[in-house]
Amino acid sequence: MTTATVNPAQSLRDASVGIRSEIKDAGTTVKNELQDVVDDVMGVMSSPSLRDNPEIRALRERLQHGYERARTRIAHASEVVTDNVGAAARATDEYAHEQPWKVAGVAALAGLAIGVLLFRR
């Protein structure tokens, strides 16, 4: 029977990649949904009876400007969160390499605490 060793640093890197991917996917989903809403509203406001109305034209411009600002903010927020997740993963990886016995001790204590809590029930 072979026992596979778990590399905490690799596990952390894998988790970081997964989290980054989820953040990007969520950002893309939000941008797509926002675009769908804008397209729907623009479609309604493009009807021949409303197109020539100056208030509707002004509303279309404000909506388009707001959409562009929201899209930019979503992209920026996604980048910031992704960068922060990566930095946290790198810092944790470095700490685990510099202090392996402390990390092992904390992991053992966490496992013990979880075991005690599970067996209490």
Give the Cα separation of 89 and 107 in Å (integer).
Answer: 17
CB within 8 A of 64, min separation 6: which ones? 38, 42
For residue 21, the model assigns a pLDDT of 76
Question: Using one digit for the tens of pLDDT, what is the confidence trace for 6-19?
Answer: 565 666 667 667 77
Question: Using one digit for the tens of pLDDT, what is the confidence trace for 65-89?
Answer: 888 888 888 888 878 887 888 788 7
20 CB neighbour count, 10 Å cutoff: 17
| Alpha carbon of residue 81 to chain centroid | 6
pTM attached to this predicted model: 0.53
Percentage of the chain beyond pLDDT 70 is 86
| Segment among 10-14, 40-44, 101-105 with least mean pLDDT | 10-14
